[in-house]
């Protein structure tokens, strides 16, 4: 009986996953098109979702002879299209390998220090392009930032261990996100303000989405 239950659960998970392959891109497209988005910031692996959204919008507009949906474009950060996580794989919160810059300081430092590295020692030169530490650092500081260039040189020069590189990344995170971390603490102490802003944003989004839906209904003859 236990084996049968386990088998049924496995089948259900598989069906859900397969259906999701079709429904999830549609849900993403609806979120984008409903608010007349002009530009969608995405990672490199999400570009195809915006392309699907564009295809759906263009096909609808062509079929019903109306510019109901705005055709959105995508924007991929040049140095952060795909970021590695602490395990070296693509960073994703769902994978549990992300770095939350708003963590408490000790927890954040521990997280950074847990980034996976190879076995090269302090006296070995290292390729910064192969290091998750450097890739994350560059994405935050910027490719041409003097600090990034200096860290790349330190990687290539014998005498720097990964521990020092991780410390440099931690300090960058604290410096770069310092104002935002402070602001977040302020907002956490004012939940009523946060609720007000969220409710106001939801109201604006609903109004925008209702107008888009009305245009679509009229175009297909349902209004």
DSSP state of 45: G
Quickly tell me which residue has 């408490």 as its tokens. Answer: 104
110 catalytic? Reply is: no
Is the CA virtual torsion 170, 172, 175, 179 positive or negative?
Answer: negative
**Rounded to an integer, what is the distance from CA 17 to the centroid of its chain?**
21
Active site (annotated) includes residue 120: no
Name the catalytic one among 70, 90, 116, 208: 90
Out of 10, 110, 143, 190, the active site residue is: 10
3-state secondary structure of 157: coil
The answer to whether 157 and 125 are in contact (CB under 8 A) is yes
CA distance 180 to 174: 10
- Phi and psi based region of residue 103 (left: phi greater than 0; alpha: psi -120 to 50; beta: remaining): beta
Question: Is 93 assigned a catalytic role?
Answer: yes
Q: Do the strands 73-75 and 39-41 form a parallel or antiparallel pair, or are they unpaired?
A: parallel
215 bridge partner residues: none
Enumerate the active-site residues. Answer: 10, 90, 93
């Amino acid at each position: 009986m236990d084996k049968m239950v386990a088998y049924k659960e496995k089948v259900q998970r598989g069906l859900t996953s397969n259906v999701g392959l079709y429904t999830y891109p549609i849900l993403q497209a609806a979120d984008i098109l409903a608010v007349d988005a002009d530009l969608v910031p995405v990672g490199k692996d999400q570009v195809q979702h915006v392309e699907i959204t564009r295809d759906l919008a263009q096909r609808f507009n062509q079929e019903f002879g109306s510019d109901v949906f705005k055709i959105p474009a995508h924007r991929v950060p040049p140095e952060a299209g795909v970021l590695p996580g602490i395990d070296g794989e693509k960073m994703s919160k769902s994978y549990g390998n992300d770095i939350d810059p708003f963590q408490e300081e000790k927890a954040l430092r521990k997280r950074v220090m847990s980034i996976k590295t190879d076995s090269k020692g302090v006296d070995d030169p290292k390729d910064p392009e192969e290091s998750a530490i450097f890739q994350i650092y560059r994405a935050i500081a910027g490719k041409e930032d003097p600090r990034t260039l200096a860290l790349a040189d330190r990687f290539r020069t014998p005498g720097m261990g990964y521990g020092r590189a991780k410390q440099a990344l931690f300090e960058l995170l604290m410096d770069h996100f310092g104002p935002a971390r402070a602001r977040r603490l302020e907002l956490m102490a004012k939940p009523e303000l946060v609720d007000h802003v969220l409710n106001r944003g939801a109201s604006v989004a609903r109004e925008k989405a209702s107008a888009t839906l009305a245009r679509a209904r009229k175009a297909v003859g349902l209004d």
